[in-house]
Amino acid sequence: FAVPGSLKPELPEDGVLRYFTMAFCPYSQRTNLLLAAKKIPHHTIYVDLIDKPEWYKDYSPLGKVPAVQLTHLKGQPTLVESLIIAEYLDEQYPEPRRLFPSDPLQKAQDKILIERFAPVVSAVYPIITLNPNPPADARKNFEAALDVFEEELGKRGTPYFSGQVIGIVDYMIWPWFERFPSMKLTRQYELDEKRFGKLLKWRNLVAQDEAVKKTALDVQLHAEFQKSKTVGKPQYDIAFKNIA
């Protein structure tokens, strides 16, 4: 469902999970990845984040995405916060396999690693969103924050951050790696192959994952979306360009 303006959509009362999102939001994509990885049936409702419809606050009190409404439960509660949603879904839908480690220490260390991605996101934000005056040290800070992940991959010595198979760390940081290549189109900037050799290899590997492929928007669309923001209102409908 793509909902124009403030019309509250007619949502089917069929006990199927509802996923509220904005097509280009990387935090929201985290939830999309979980839903795809676990093959959880869901209805997707796209929310305009600039002109937030009034009715949306009934689901997500601060109007944030992602939000997941558990319509099969009493009271049809809605969960927010991408990492809280991820933990909940991982626990409730253990098939085909759990994405979080079951060992408390490994789980904590994975959560810390995910948290350590935050400085990557904040440093790259003005660059990737085409801020006309990004801070002079934005690129330097971005690359330094990414060094942590290049190093960690080396330390863990496995193809994925989560081990031999893809797991929660890989999925939770993936959305930004899907977007980094857009900077080649918009800023003529790419990740240095020598400095980030392991990360780039990891990226190509993760790009082949079924859930990643299912939820992907291509680089061109990401670049166009960022450009659309610089000339006026974000053009969310770009996400549906290739859908008949």
Partner 1 sequence: FIRPFPLTGSDKPVFPDDGVLKLYSMRFCPYAHRVHLVLDAKKVPHHDIYINLKEKPQWFFDVSSSGKVPALELVREPGHPMLIESLIICDYLEDKYPEVPLYPKDPLKKAQEKILIERFGQFITAFYRVLLHPNPAELDNDVLFAGLGIYEDELKQRATDFFGGSSPGMLDYMIWPWCERFAALKYDRGDGLELDPQRFALLLKWRDLMLQDRAVKVFFLDGETHAKYMKSRREGNADYNML
Catalytic residues: 25
Shorter beta-carbon distance to partner 1: residue 16 or 79:
79
Interface map 109-138 toward partner 1 (x if CB under 8 A):
x-xx--x-----------------------
Under the binding rule (CB under 8 A), the answer on residue 88 touching partner 1 is: yes
Give the shortest CB-109-to-partner 1 separation in angstroms: 7
Interface map 161-180 toward partner 1 (x if CB under 8 A):
--------------------
Tokens of 90: 């991982």
Stretch that binds partner 1, among 29-37, 104-112, 158-166, 214-222 (CB under 8 A): 104-112
**Exposed, middle or buried: residue 75 (CB in 10 Å: 0-12, 13-18, 19+)?**
exposed
Under the binding rule (CB under 8 A), the answer on residue 92 touching partner 1 is: yes
Interacting residues toward partner 1 by CB under 8 A: 62, 70, 73, 77, 79-81, 84-85, 87-88, 91-92, 104-105, 107-109, 111-112, 115
